[in-house]
Each structure stands twice: as C-alpha cells, then as structure tokens.
A and B are shown apart, each in its own frame.
Chain A
Amino acid sequence: MEVLGLTPALLALFLSFGFMVGVFFGFFGMGGSFLVTPTLLVLGYPAPVAIGSSMAFVFGTASIATLKHHDVGQVDYKLGGLMFVGIVLGIEAGKMLVFGLEALGYAELVVGIAYILLLAAIGLVFTRNALREPEAEDDDTGDDEIPDIAKKIKSYNIPPMVRLTDGSKASLWTISGVGGGVGIVSGFLGIGGGFIRMPAIYYLVGVPLAAAVGTSLFGALMSGAVGAFSYGLSGVIDLGVVTALLVGSALGARIGSAATAYVDEADVTIYFGIMLLLASAAVAFGELATWLAMPILDTVSFLLLIGSALFVTSIILYYGVQSVREQRGRTGTRKKVDG
C-alpha cells in the first residue's frame, strides 16, 4: 500500500528526515535544504527530480518561516522585489545547466561534486567557529550598522541607483547581481541559498543585519516559488516526497525554534559542523558507489547521512530536555522556598 505515492518505509524515512531537517532549520536558521538534495540523490532520484523537489520543499519551509517572521522581522520588500528579476533569470540559468548536464549524463556527478565541496566548506566554517575562542567571535558591528565593505561598494554610483526602504541608495546592478548570482546556485543545487544571500545582502547591498535576515528569507520564498514553478514546468517535482518532508519539517522547525530558548547554540555548533563534513563524505561515498560499481558504498553513504543527522537532532533534543529540567526544577525549588 502506498501513501502519497511512497511505500510505508519511504514515507517514514521522509517524515523523520524532514523532522530532523526542520529541527536544524528551526535551531540554526539554516540547513533546511542543503541536506535534502544530496539525500534524494543518494536514494537514487535523478538530479532534476531531487533538485526540483528540494526547491518545492524550500518554498514550503520559507513560506512557513516568513509567516512566523512577518510580525517580528524586518523585511525590505522593495529590495526583495528588485531582486526578483535576477532570481528568475538565475534560477532559470541554474535549471538549464542541470538539464544540459542531464542530457549529457553528467548531472548527478557534477551536482554531487558541487555538494561535496559545498557541504565540506560550510562544515569547516561551522567547525572552525565552534573551536574558536568565544572572545574572537565578538563583533563590534551592531544590527543597525553597515559594514565598511558595503559602504565602499555603495560609494560606486553605477546607475540606475534605487532608494531602499531604509533611505539609503544602492545600484540596481548590485541588487540584480546578488539576486541572479544566488539564483543560479539555488536553481543548480535546489537550495534556498539563505546562507549566501543573507551575507550578500548585508555586505554587498549594505542593508542592516536585522533587515538582511528578513529580506533573505523573503528571497528564499521567491527562489523556492520560482524554482518550484520552473522545475514544475518540466514535471519533475515529486509532490509525495515534498509533502512528507514538509509535514516532518514543519513540526521539527517548531521544536528546533523552541529549543533555542533552552539550548546554547555554542554547545551544539561543533556537532552540526561535523555532521556537514560527514554529509560531504556521504555524498562522496555515493559518487564512488557509482564509479566503482559498489552498491555497498551507497548503503554506507545513506547510513552516514541519516545517522549523522539523527545524532545531531538527538543532541539538540537531549540538551533541550536537560535544560528544561534544570530551569523548571530551579523555578520549582524557588517556588517551594518562597512558599
């Protein structure tokens, strides 16, 4: 019996994997999509299906996050709207690249290698930041300040210049470049691209940090919608996979988000970094399985990917439970003493 076009085993896998991805997204504010495409590739889905389905998943998670962010966040909708054309063109270019490589028979290989490098790079950044002394992480730049590099870029007045919501001016070329550049990466890898877009909006366009986060989220929503539509035109999106992942991730994101109130991010960042490095190795094993015609490596790859994600999710939940007990226990003791 199949549900959503998936066998019970696959349904359970996508629900639980979606939950884990949701916990990461809710807790770290990222990791919602760059684990989905590689997992689908490892499971044997063709690259266009894996990327298209991941883009639809990004659209779903970004919609939920934007709904949550709407009241409290700062979103520069004008800037988001100005990036739209760049996002459309970038995603279309990324998609054409995927289908071109698919026609040549290299899509899974090239996308796989891109993921090995991407996951390793982000994993190294997280691991290095976790190992760095806390003092070194101090940043004097406040939420409303703009970094020097952005001021320098803003000083080059390349017309047409547009006025942003905060009153500052930026070149439409820079804005379109950010939208298009991140769009290509999104369309090629099936990711929201927030981990690139947010710093790009902050450092290149020069939007204050708080607004950059919200605007980047809005950008992910647009990227997901455009990507899902674009890949949907080719009929390669597996709605069953997307639905199962979304059901799991929407729940996981709530729990991950709630855990931020109890768990110190510094305690678990190292595990997240290591998980990304293991995910990079997992994709490499998946590629080797094809090259060497050794299916056992596919199993190793799958276990490494799911196992490491399960481990980090468990760590976050464990720290969360411990912290709830400590904090509530302390409150209970105080109440008893006061009473």
Chain B
Amino acid sequence: MIELTAQPAVQAAVVVGLVFVEALALYVGYGAIEERVAPPVLDAIANT
C-alpha cells in the first residue's frame, strides 16, 4: 500500500487530487493514442 503521511484532511485531499490528475492524464493520453492507433488497428482487423 502506498503510504501518505500528512494531516488526515490534507491526505484525503491529496488522494482525491491525485486520482483526478491520473484520470485527466489517462483521458488525454489514451485519447492521443486512440487517434493515432485506432485507424491502423481497425484496418489490420479488417484485413486479417
């Protein structure tokens, strides 16, 4: 388990903030990958 040492309220806010940043990064990152990778992947599926 990842340990965070801080006041409970700060610790809880950090957890919420970290999860939101992760979600944002994943949304943007996967979005960029999908744009590049999806068309060739669909073509590859159609041609196999």
Contact = CB atoms under 8 A, between A and B. Distances in A.
A63 B11 contact: no
Nearest to A228: B16
Contacts of A258: 38
B19 A328 contact: no
Nearest to A246: B22
A324 B43 CA distance: 9
B19 A228 contact: yes
Nearest to A230: B12
Given A240-B1, A240-B2, A328-B46, A225 B26 contact: no
Interface residues of A, number: 37
Contact of B30 (A59, A225, A250): A250
A175 B8 CA distance: 31
Contact of B12 (A61, A64, A233): A233
B18 to A, nearest CB: 7
Interface of A is mostly: helix
B45 to A, nearest CB: 5
Contact of B27 (A64, A228, A229, A329): A64
A243 B1 CA distance: 11
Contacts, number: 95
Contact of A325 (B14, B26, B45): B45
Nearest to A239: B2
B46 A67 contact: no
A251 interface: yes
Interface string A207-233: 000000000000000000100111111
Interface residues of B, number: 27
Given A64-B27, A238-B1, A251-B30, A232 B22 contact: no
Given A56-B15, A324-B42, A233 B9 contact: yes
A101 interface: no
Given A4-B2, A250-B23, A250-B27, A239 B18 contact: yes
A221 to B, nearest CB: 10
A206 interface: no
Contacts of B48: 325
Contacts of A246: 19, 22-23, 26
Contacts of B2: 4-5, 238-240
A234 B16 CA distance: 13
A258 B39 CA distance: 12
A57 to B, nearest CB: 8
B45 A229 contact: no
A229 B16 CA distance: 6
A208 B48 CA distance: 44
Contacts of A68: 27
Given A240-B2, A325-B46, A328-B42, A59 B16 contact: yes
A-B pairs with lowest CB-CB distance, top 4: A232-B12, A328-B46, A250-B26, A63-B23
Interface of A: 4-5, 56, 59-61, 63-64, 67-68, 225, 228-235, 237-240, 242-243, 246-247, 250-251, 254, 258, 321, 324-325, 328-329, 332
10 contacts: A61-B23, A68-B27, A229-B15, A238-B1, A243-B22, A250-B23, A254-B30, A254-B34, A324-B42, A328-B43
Given A61-B23, A232-B12, A246-B26, 12 more contacts: A59-B20, A60-B20, A63-B19, A63-B23, A68-B27, A229-B12, A230-B12, A239-B18, A240-B2, A246-B22, A247-B22, A328-B43
